[in-house]
A = this chain, B = another copy of it.
Amino acid sequence: MPTKYLHTMIRVSDPEATKAFFAILGLREIRRYENEAGRFSLIFLAAEGDEDAPVELTHNWDESGYTGGRNFGHLAYRVDDIYAMCAKFQATGVTINRPPRDGHMAFIRTPDGISLELLQAGDALPPAEPWASMPNTGSW
C-alpha cells in the first residue's frame, strides 16, 4: 500500500471562530476527539464529498493565542510499515522526534523543520525494538 496524504493540522485558539471561518468555505465538522485528561480537542473539517482530505484543528484548551510558527501543525501521511519507514529516515540522518513506540504514530521534521506525522495503515503493529524503548527527542 503506497504512502497516502491524510490531513493538514493547524493549531487554533478558538475552535468556534475557526469553524465559523471554514464554514464560509463550505467545510463542516466531520469528526471530533475530546481528551479531558490532556485538555485538548481534535476537530476534523471537510467539504461535502471531500472527507478524505480534511483539515484537522487542534485546540489546546489552555493555549490562548498563536502569533508565530507554532500555529502551523503538521502534514500527515499514512504509511504501509511505520517501523520500516522510520528506519529508512533514520538511516539518512533524520531524527525520529516521536518514535513509533505504539506501532501506530511517529513524528519527524523536514529539512526546514516542518512536522510530519506518520500513521501506520490499518491496525497498530506489535511493539518492537528499537522503537518501543526509544525516548522522544526535541519537539515536533
A→B interface (CB under 8 Å): 2-5, 8, 10-14, 17-18, 20-22, 24-27, 46-50, 53-55, 65-72, 75, 77, 79, 85, 88-89, 92, 94, 110-114, 116, 118
8 A-B contact pairs sorted by A residue (CB < 8 Å): A3-B27, A3-B47, A13-B112, A18-B110, A24-B92, A25-B79, A25-B85, A47-B77
Quick one: which of B10, B27, B111, B114 contacts A114, CB cutoff 8 A? B10
How far, in angstroms, from A25 to B72 measured CA to CA in the complex?
Answer: 21
Q: Which residue of B lies closest to A54 (CB)?
A: B5
Residues of B within 8 A of A77 (CB): 25, 47
Q: How far apart are A131's CB and chain B's nearest CB, in angstroms?
A: 17
Contacts of A69 in B (CB 8 A): 68-72
Which among A27, A85, A110, A111 has the greatest number of chain B C-beta atoms within 10 A? A111
Closest to A113 in B: B71
How far is A3 from B45 in the complex, measured between Cα atoms in Å?
Answer: 12
Give the top 10 A-B pairs by smallest Cβ distance, nearest first: A69-B69, A72-B72, A5-B53, A68-B69, A3-B26, A3-B47, A17-B111, A8-B8, A71-B112, A2-B47
